[in-house]
Amino acid sequence: ATDIADQLSTVLVTEEQIHAKLEELAEQVAADYDGSELLLVGVLKGAVMVMADFSRRLPRHISMDWMAVSSYGAGTKSSGVVQIRKDLDTDLTGKHVLIVEDIIDSGLTLSWLLENFASRGAESVEVLALLRKPEAAKVEIDCRYVGFDIPNDFVVGYGLDYAEKYRNLRDVAVLAPHIYS
């Protein structure tokens, strides 16, 4: 039970695939924001790996800030009730903001965040998400940069947790059902 491999069903996205995709997305973002200041906002804690690997592929200066919100707690379903655990340090007035997320599942977290940001006077707000689960959407999120659309399985790794575990896995993998059922 301590062997991580026994707790996973399949690897869904490998570290290599993630890095290749982030390279592509970084080129797009660099081109799209050419000449503008850019603030990356990472959503703690899931987005730490994406932020680290994506931001280092941008061949330009950016600013970085973090917001900590949580809607899942220790379960496998989004509660829809989003709590701010840490707010931004940055005033968004006039800024071009790119929210960096690990995954859009139900979409509730980002829908809440986008509404929250709308009142802060940003010049633009876009979203980059490494993963998206189209079948799980409860609200549609206008996400400009998407890494991979994945099936509606509970996935962990590369920042994604189950009860705070598995975030440090290098790949994104499907959690074996016996772990959470």
**78 binds, options Mg ion, Mn ion, ligand PRP, none, Cβ within 5 to 8 A by partner type:** ligand PRP
Q: Is 71 in the site for ligand PRP (CB under 6 A)?
A: yes
Q: Cβ(179)–Cβ(3) under 8 Å?
A: no
Which amino acid is present at 139?
A: V
Footprint of ligand PRP on 82-121 (CB under 6 A): 101-109
Q: Cβ(64)–Cβ(100) under 8 Å?
A: no
Cα-based distances in Å from 72 to 35, 77, 90, 161? 38, 6, 25, 10
Least distance to Mg ion, CB of residue 46, Å:
6
Q: Which residues are CB-neighbours of 140 under 8 A, at least 6 positions away?
A: 107
Supply the residues annotated as catalytic. Answer: 105
**103 binds, options Mg ion, Mn ion, ligand PRP, none, Cβ within 5 to 8 A by partner type:** ligand PRP
Chain center to CA of 22: 12
Footprint of ligand PRP on 149-178 (CB under 6 A): 161
> Site mask, Mn ion, residues 37-56, x = CB under 5 A?
---------x----------
Among 51, 161, 166, 171, binds Mg ion (CB under 5 A): 161
**76 binds, options Mn ion, Mg ion, ligand PRP, none, Cβ within 5 to 8 A by partner type:** none
33/148 with CB nearer Mn ion: 148
What is the spatial distance between Cα 117 and Cα 124, in angstroms, rounded to a whole number?
Answer: 10
Tokens of 179: 């772990």
Phi-psi region of 73 (alpha: psi -120 to 50; beta: other; left: phi over 0): left
39/100 with CB nearer Mg ion: 100
What is the spatial distance between Cα 88 and Cα 72, in angstroms, rounded to a whole number?
Answer: 20
Stretch binding ligand PRP (CB under 6 A), from 23-31, 32-40, 71-79, 89-97: 71-79
Contact residues toward ligand PRP (CB under 6 A) are 43-46, 70-72, 78, 101-109, 161
Interface with Mn ion (CB under 5 A): 46
